[in-house]
Chains A and B, each alone.
Chain A
């Protein structure tokens, strides 16, 4: 064990057919987004806001954010994260297991990765049967600034 590199724990989730992972320490909770309120004039990635135990949580439509196709058929779930004192919910299709992965085994983004994915991904892990994209939560939440720069 000791000769291996650092192990990192990731919360995995399914979204639009892709498997994504987020550092477990960034994830607060997983909840079912109930009764969200849409926000007129909001950026398209913002799916709405809702009240989660007295806090106002901003929902991020991960499908749109990552530029993935399709619409959710199942009841969506949300991964609760915090950034600069604000709460966000990242909408996903399904939550997966928590994986411990060797940091050394993480590979960089393939050069031909869709730029919308590349801007939020910090690398790829090869699992036995599929690939796991490691997501940087802060980059996911970096919504407003990008559009200004674009």
Chain B
């Protein structure tokens, strides 16, 4: 009985959906006999099946509806009232079916209201007889047997009832005998509708099949990966064949999951009809591309958003007939629903020919909700303003109607569409209409994804969200710039917010050498466009999306994981999650900025510091921008050569330097290292533990007493030793020499440090600060001159010699001609220390000449020059 009942419910629901659509069509085309015949047949089938299954309530209702429809079939013109009544009856049948499905039996209650209405109307419309009405209501109160006996009394009945009675009267095992009938009838119906053979398969079976195919695709990918490594393999040909067969199988199985989008549209004509009644608007619904197919899982998910958008168009978009007449438009409003395939996506468009979006009202709403200020809005184009309708909690209807505008407007639609990895856009022309374009992937199970690397791990980014790839590096036209801590990319004269993936994920801090480099995956989510900076981009791969483990599902930045061809598992990035993360960092930055303003009037620049421990328990810190990489190496790989620790690192021998003798180089397990690189040279500092990365003001309060320390500073409320990397660089390489310690000068002098390498600027600035100078940095000669031009006090200039555009010599010459810079002592800084260079330096007016890594020498020279300055 259970199976039979379930079958009945499924089938009847499907039939009723068709009846809905067909009836609405019939109302518009009253003369179309095919439609009404079709409807009549469906309802008749429902009625018949109810009789078999012993469902008196349903049967009575279906019967009454059928009787009225019989009138239409007889040629009586359909009235709106009659159609409304039949539709109401169908709704009631659906309600009954619903509880039937849940409780396995018909709910209690009666449908006298509808039945009497139906019979009344049927009688009124009956051109011949009108004496039948009194008997009809008895249908509902009668028992099953009585009803069957009553049947022949009614008009329009045929031999099927006799057949039913015959069945009923035969006391045999019910399910077996009864089962074939509805099924056979259903099969017949299907065959008639589709003109070909089909069978019913449960969704579960298909899902399982899909899972297996997914596994097969993965295994195939794995085999291909192995095949790629073995050029001359005899497996090559069969592998190719396997690959092709798998691809075909995948396609075939996907096809079984495909359903025409028309299935999601089925309920829409009915909705539009009801809406036009309710709103007093005349609405024509046009549907194009109903046969466009997409994955049933996706189909289920877009049903609700589509309905909502349609309601919106009918309620807000279209004008009343009077308004339309006044605007010189046809009285009947039109909503066009269309769908088509585009690449791996399906595009659905809902367009109306209504009044268009009211930009002013959206603006007003945006302001009252505090989403943007008037000034901000003024800068936006109309299209940008329109996109605000997708913001959560936004609804433009000034009055809340029962149809839409319940505060869950387009933002809910967008959330739903986001969930399935789709995008939505709106286009509006005042007075001409609005069109919403939704782009969604055909399937969720297998998607095309871009495989990228960030922080040493690989990740997949769904291709749908990716607009383009941009390669960024310092010198190119696309370069990453910073507004305070916010990274942005100049892309075709627009500023694009960018974020390093590794930073968002909290893995490996950004590499100072590559901070301005990398690949930018330009991504779009809804109206938001942003760049995800990754270290490398590999290729595009068809990946099988596997849901995240329930323990990891809370991580918003991932929407699943997948197994790559080489067998490794990688995470699939959720572009929506990234968009949110970007939004939240923006807010937290705002908060930070506000806090900083309150905290310190002369708020210094915040420096990112890497906190670690080495030797003593006191935390130590280095400016993060100086650290090239954080590494954890296998301690067994560390070699001792000539009394120094070395490790093979990226094909080179890298010296390991200890802070002091209290730091132990591990012999087992993982050894954390801080790698510092300058050009081709790298050295690593051996540390015990990397603690944290914090952002704080670097304010050295106590100058360092021992070698290798710039001094102590309060970092996050704790006294922290600031490590002087400049001290360790010469320890790693013999050509970096050092001189005896010098005392810091007493008076703070303004030093202008000019160097094109951010590494040196970052390294020297804290060194000089610790030595008691106020340091300003400039990245080029031109910048330095501008600084002097600006009227800043400069006591001493330290300049690198080798710089692009304007070198140190040229800068010095320019300074000498400058009215404010003629007397300023200049110290040249170079890695080339030759007699010739020194002579040239003296000629252009250098006061001193120091080798680049000679920190002590530089401070000595500075002290000398500033003393000289004071004396002069």
Contacts and interface: CB of A to CB of B under 8 A. Distances in A.
Interface string A70-93: 010100000000001010100000
A43 B561 contact: no
B563 A39 contact: no
B457 A37 contact: yes
B570 A37 contact: yes
Contacts of B570: 37
Interface string A49-78: 111001010100000000000010100000
Contacts of B551: 42-43, 46, 58, 141, 143-144
Interface residues of A, number: 24
Contact of A37 (B215, B505, B569): B569
B569 A49 contact: yes
Contacts of B546: 56
A144 B548 CA distance: 14
Given A37-B457, A141-B551, A50 B569 contact: yes
Among A46, A49, A58, A144, residue most surrounded by chain B Cβ atoms (within 10 Å): A49
A43 to B, nearest CB: 7
A41 B549 contact: no
Main secondary structure on B side of the interface with A: loop
A38 B567 CA distance: 15
Contact of A51 (B455, B457, B506, B567): B567
Interface in B546-573: 546, 549-552, 554-555, 557-558, 561, 563, 567-571
Nearest to B216: A54
B569 A84 contact: no
Interface residues on B, range: 20 to 34
A42 B568 contact: no
Among B505, B506, B507, B571, residue most surrounded by chain A Cβ atoms (within 10 Å): B571
B669 A71 contact: yes
Contacts of B552: 39, 42, 46, 49, 58
A19 B560 CA distance: 35
Interface in B213-238: 215, 218-219
B584 to A, nearest CB: 13
Contacts of B571: 37, 39-40
Contacts of A58: 549, 551-552
A37 B507 contact: no
Contact of A56 (B455, B506, B561): B561
A40 B504 CA distance: 9
Contact of B568 (A37, A88, A141, A143): A37
A50 B558 CA distance: 16
A50 B566 CA distance: 12
A36 B561 CA distance: 13
Given A141-B551, A144-B551, A56 B505 contact: no
A110 interface: no
A36 B219 CA distance: 18
Given A51-B563, A54-B215, A39 B550 contact: no
Nearest to B219: A54
Interface of A: 35-43, 46, 49-51, 54, 56, 58, 71, 73, 84, 86, 88, 141, 143-144
Given A49-B561, A56-B546, 8 more contacts: A36-B569, A40-B507, A40-B557, A42-B552, A51-B569, A54-B219, A86-B549, A144-B551
**Nearest 6 pairs of A and B residues by beta carbon:** A40-B505, A58-B549, A37-B569, A51-B563, A41-B555, A49-B569
13 contacts: A35-B567, A38-B507, A39-B558, A40-B455, A40-B571, A49-B552, A49-B561, A50-B569, A54-B563, A58-B549, A58-B551, A86-B550, A144-B554
